[in-house]
Amino acid sequence: MMAKVGETLPDIALETPEGGAVRPSDFAGRKLVLFFYPKDDTPGCTTENIDFSALADDFAKAGTALLGVSKDSPARHQKFAAKHALKAPLATDAAEGGLSDALGIWTEKVNYGRTYMGMVRTTLLVGADGRIARVWDKVKVKGHAAEVLAAAQAL
């Protein structure tokens, strides 16, 4: 089941690249952009992370935290962030039954007749009250970070 506007974001822990944990409730009282992407260091995912990182200061001015999420390992996130000087924090959602599962973002996909489980590129804008204010699913990367920033500024 896909995340819906108005729902409370499930408070499921994600792993940070440093080995700690981060939960949506850690951002209580401020807006949060969660952008889920398939895989570190692939062309679209790299562009998306660089675009959000380039606007990180503008998101901060809008009182909005950023968090990029994939199933990649914490070590892979560290390498990816260092390689591209990313400012947007990353988190790992590797656990079965994790946040992406609860939100319906980790799902069955088909590519060239092959069926597999994968992350649907999805962005959530969460209000300071912990409720989902906006959902972008099947995201096209070009111009997306700027569109999310405008929505965060308007919220």
CB proximity list for 94: less than 8 A, separation 6 or greater = 15, 71, 72, 73
CA torsion sign for 124, 109, 71, 76 is: negative
Alpha helix (H) residue ranges in the chain: 43-54, 56-61, 74-84, 99-102, 144-154
Q: Is 45 a catalytic residue?
A: yes
Of 7, 41, 8, nearest in space to 23 by CA = 8
Out of 9, 14, 22, 45, pick the active-site residue: 45
Residue 119 belongs to what H/E stretch? strand 114-119
Of 122, 95, 103, 144, nearest in space to 35 by CA = 122
DSSP reduced 3-state for 108: strand
Residues classed as catalytic = 45
